[in-house]
């Protein structure tokens, strides 16, 4: 499922990036994947996915 339509970023991609790089902030996540860089509508959901995945590591 696409989370960020502007940049075609899926939830799967976000989870993979979180597992690999373990970003501690949303800004750090954006260093690895271009999510939330345009309209910003996806930021809340993307952040939730990041936090959910971090808890499972
Ligand atoms: Fe992610 Fe627009 S949907 S920046």
Please tell me the predicted confidence (pLDDT) of residue 55.
97
Please tell me the predicted confidence (pLDDT) of residue 13.
98
Residue 23 sits in a domain of what CATH number?
1.10.10.1100
Number of domains in the chain: 1
Which domain covers residue 32, as residue numbers? Answer: 2-56
Residues with CB under 6 A from ligand 1: 4-7, 35-42
Please tell me the predicted confidence (pLDDT) of residue 25.
97
Please tell me the predicted confidence (pLDDT) of residue 10.
98
Q: Ligand 1, atom 2: nearest CA belongs to which residue? A: 39
In tens, the pLDDT along 9-55 reads 999 999 999 999 999 999 999 999 999 999 999 999 999 999 999 99
DSSP codes of every residue in 1-57:
-EEETTTTEEHHHHHHHHHHH--SSHHHHHHHS--SSSS-TTHHHHHHHHHHHHHH-
In the reported structure, the alpha carbon of residue 2 is separated from the centroid of ligand 1 by a whole-number distance in angstroms of 10
């Amino acid at each position: 499922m696409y989370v960020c339509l502007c940049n075609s970023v899926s939830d799967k991609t976000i989870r993979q990036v979180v597992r690999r790089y373990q970003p501690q902030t949303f800004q750090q996540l954006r260093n690895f994947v271009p999510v939330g860089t345009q309209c910003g509508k996806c930021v809340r959901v993307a952040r939730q996915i990041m936090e959910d995945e971090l808890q499972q590591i």
